[in-house]
Amino acid sequence: MNLSYNWLKELVPFELSPEELAKELTRVGCCVEEIEQIGDDWQLVAEVTTNRPDWLCHWGIAHEIAAFTSLKLKLPEITLPKSGDEKITDITSVINEVEDLCPRYTARVIKGVKVGPSPDWLQNRLRSVGLKPRNNIVDITNLVLFETNQPLHAFDFDLLKENRIIIRHAKDKEKFTSVFDEERELNASMCVIADAEKAVALAGVKGGKECGVSDNSVNILLESAYFAQTSTRKSSQATLLNSDSSYRFERGIDPGGVANSSARAVQLICELAGGTLVDGIIDTNPELATPWEVAMRFTRCTKILGTRVEPRVIEKIFIGLGLNSIEKNPSKIIVQVPTFRQDITREADLIEEVARCYGYENIPTKIEMPQKMVHLKPDTIAKRKAIDVLTALGYNETMTDTFVEKKWVKEFDSIAEYFSGEYVKINNPVREDRPFMRVTLVPSLLEVRRINRGSKQERFFEINRTYIQKNKDEILEPTNLCLIDDRGIEFVKGAFETLLKKLRIPGICTFTPINEERKGFADTTVTEIRIEEKVIGLCGNISAKAINTHDLLEKTSVLEVNFDELANRGEVEFKFKALPKFPGIVRDISLVVNENTKWSEIESTIMEKPEFIEKVEFASCYRGKQIPNGMKSMAFSIYYRNPEKSFRDEEANSLRDIMVSHLTGKFEGSTIRK
C-alpha cells in the first residue's frame, strides 16, 4: 500500500517527520518498508496484513495515527450537490440476479459533465501514491479508492444499452475486452456487470472498453458496490486480470461504506467536472451492514496485558480508531464498532487494540519462567517403558483405527469371550464399512501385516484402548497390548517375558495350554497367560481362515494381554543404591534334571536361599549322549557379592556347594554334570 505523507497530515495534524511516522506505524503493526520523496511529498510503502483491509486507504491509516497520537481526526465533510428534478428511477434501473456474488450495488447518475484533465493538486496526489493521472472522472474514482478503500467505476451512461444495469453470471465463453484492450473469454461461474446486451465490466476486477468514460462522455453512471471476496479472486485468477480494485475486493471492503464513498465521488465530480446529479440513488441492499456493539471489562484488559491502562487512555484510543463509546462505567466500556472494522467482534479484539496503540514496549514483561513438574501416572510410565523395550527387540509400533469392519467382529470370538463383553456398535459411524468399536487389537494388527506383506518376518505391536459392552448401560475401556510375529509363538512369548522383567513385575508368568479349539487360532495349543494364577491374556498361532480373511502370505503368531494389569503390577518408581565397594564372584552350575523341569522352577528354587546372591543367569539347555534319556542339562551362572568384603575362592565354593545340595534335594533324581 502506497501512502502519501502530506495526505495523511491533512487528515491528522501531527508533527512527526516521515521517518518518525514510518516508525510509529510499524510499531502498531502497519510495517513501512520504504520511504521515497516525490516532489514536496513523501511516499511511504507499507505492508498491510490480510486481517486489516481498512489499512488499504488513507482514512484507515489516519484512524491509527489519531489513536496513537491522541489527535483529532479531520475527515472531509461529505455533502451531496443539489440535484435536478429528474428522478434516477425514471431513467435507469439495476437488476441483481446474483445477490450471493454481489450483496450490494449502488448507482448514481450525473449529467452534463465535462471530461478533461484533473487539476494539479489531484494529479500530484495520485502521483504521490504511484498512479498515473488520466482524466478528471477516472482520477476522482482513483482518489476515492485510496481515500476510503471503496473501488468505484464510472460508465458512459449513453453507451449502456437501454440505459440499465444487470448484474448476472457471465455466459459460457462470453467475450470481454477491458479498458486496456485485454481480451478474455469468460465462463458461467464469473460475475459481470452488463447492460441489456453485453458485459460491460468484470465485477470487482476491471471495467470494459465499450462503455468506459472518454473525452466525449457527457453523462455518467457511477457504480459503487460490494462484491464477494471469493468470486472476485477466482475471476481475477482465471482471467489473469488484476487491479487495485480486485486487490481490495479479494481482501474485503467496508460493506457499510458503499453509498458514502459514492457520495464523496459525486461531490468531487460535480466540483471538478461540473454536471448535475440526478435525484436519488439505486441501492440494492442499503441494510447490508450496520454497526455492532462490543464490551470490554477493564479488569479483563489488565489481566491479559499484565498492566493497568487507565480507562481514560483506553477511551481516547477507541475514539481515535473510530470506535465510539456508547456506555462507560468503572467496570467496563461498550463501543460501537464501525463496519470498516470487520476484524473486531469480541472483547479480546478490543484488548488487542489497546495493546497495539498503548505500545507493547510499555507493557512490562515477566522474565521469570515458572516451571511445574508434572508427575506421570503409573500407566503412562509403564506404557513408555513397554514401547522402549519392544522397539529395542525389533518390534514396530502401530496406531490403528478404533473402528473395525463387520467381518472382523466374529473372527476372534475367543478373545472377545475372554474379555467378557460384546463389540460396541456405532449408530452413526464415521465410515459405513466400520460400524463397530474394537474389543481386541488382533484384527487391526493383522490388517497392518497385510499392508506390509511384501516384507519378511515382520513383527508389530500396539498398546491402545479397546471397548467392551458389558451391558446396556456400561462400556469398559481397558488398554490392551498386542504383539504379532511371523517367526513363531516362542518369539512373542520371549518378548513378553522380557517386557515383564523390564517392568519389574513380581510373580511368575505362566503359559497354560487350554487344550480346546478357539476361534481365530490355528490349533488347540492356544495358551492362557497367567500371572500369579490370574489370567491376563491369550497367545497362539492364527488360523488358516484368519490368514485368508486378511490376505496374508505368512503364518503369524499373536499375543494379547490386558495392559492395565501389567501397569498396576509393575514398579514404576526407580530406587537407586550406591555402587558396590567390593567385587563379586561367579560360580557356574550344570544341573541334570528331569525333562519336565522348567527353568522358572529352578530359578525360583535358587532364590529360596538368596544369601549374597546378586543375580542368576540362564546359560543353556543340553540334551545328548552324555545325558540319560528323559533328562536334560540346565547350565546357569550365579553371581555372588558380599557388601562388606571381597569373597575368597573357598567362601564362594562353599556357597556353591550349599546351593548344589539345595537343588539336588529339591529336584528328585537331579545330579551335577561333571
pLDDT along the chain (674 residues), means of 10: 94 94 93 92 93 93 92 92 92 95 96 95 94 95 96 96 96 93 94 95 94 94 96 94 94 93 96 95 91 95 92 93 92 94 93 92 78 78 92 94 80 60 79 85 90 83 89 84 92 92 82 79 82 86 86 87 86 72 93 92 90 91 90 94 91 92 92 88
3-state secondary structure of 37: strand
Q: How far is CA 137 from CA 110, 120, 121, 152, 197, in A?
A: 11, 14, 15, 11, 25
Q: How far is Cα 577 from Cα 124, in angstroms, rounded to an integer?
A: 85
The alpha carbon torsion through 547, 553, 559, 563 (nearest 10 deg) reads -100
Q: How far is CA 24 from CA 9, 14, 65, 68, 358, in A?
A: 14, 12, 8, 8, 11
Element (H, E) at 206: strand 206-207
Q: What are phi and psi of 105, to 5 degrees?
A: -140, 130
Burial bucket for residue 301 (CB in 10 Å: 0-12, 13-18, 19+): buried
Strand partners, 279: 87
For the chain, percent helix, then strand, then coil, each to nearest 5?
Answer: 30, 25, 40
What type of residue is 44? Answer: L
Helix (H) and strand (E) counts for the chain? 20, 35
Strand partners, 277: 83, 110
pLDDT at 413: 59
How would you write 518-542 as a 3-class SS string?
CCCECCCCCEEEEECCEEEEEEEEE
CB atoms within 10 A of CB 631: 16
Q: Record the pTM.
A: 0.58
Q: Cα 135 from chain centroid? A: 50
The answer to whether 191 and 199 are in contact (CB under 8 A) is no
The answer to whether 435 and 463 are in contact (CB under 8 A) is no
Q: In the chain, what are the domains?
A: 2-69 (3.30.56.10), 83-283 (3.50.40.10), 293-362 (3.30.56.10), 378-569 (3.30.930.10), 585-672 (3.30.70.380)
Terminal alpha carbon distance of the chain: 96
Sheet holding 191-194: strands in order across? 94-96, 165-169, 191-194, 199-202, 206-207
C-alpha cell at 410: 466374529
Pairing mode of beta strands 83-87, 206-207: unpaired
Q: Smallest Cα–Cα separation from 18: which of 48, 46, 53, 51?
A: 46
Q: How far is CA 385 from CA 82, 375, 380, 538, in A?
A: 85, 16, 9, 22
C-alpha cell at 498: 522380557
DSSP state of 422: B
Q: How far is Cα 52 from Cα 120, in angstroms, rounded to an integer?
A: 32
Q: How far is Cα 234 from Cα 248, in angstroms, rounded to an integer?
A: 14
Residue carrying the nine cell digits 495392559: 563
Q: Cα 191 from chain centroid? A: 33
Could you please report the per-residue DSSP string of 579-598?
A: PPSS--EEEEEEEEEETT--
Q: What are phi and psi of 227, to 5 degrees?
A: -105, 145
Q: How far is Cα 515 from Cα 526, in angstroms, rounded to an integer?
A: 7
How would you write 295-355 as a 3-class SS string?
EEEHHHHHHHHCCCCCHHHHHHHHHHCCCEEEEECCCEEEEEECCCCCCCCCHHHHHHHHH
Q: How far is Cα 315 from Cα 594, in angstroms, rounded to an integer?
A: 94
Burial bucket for residue 645 (CB in 10 Å: 0-12, 13-18, 19+): exposed
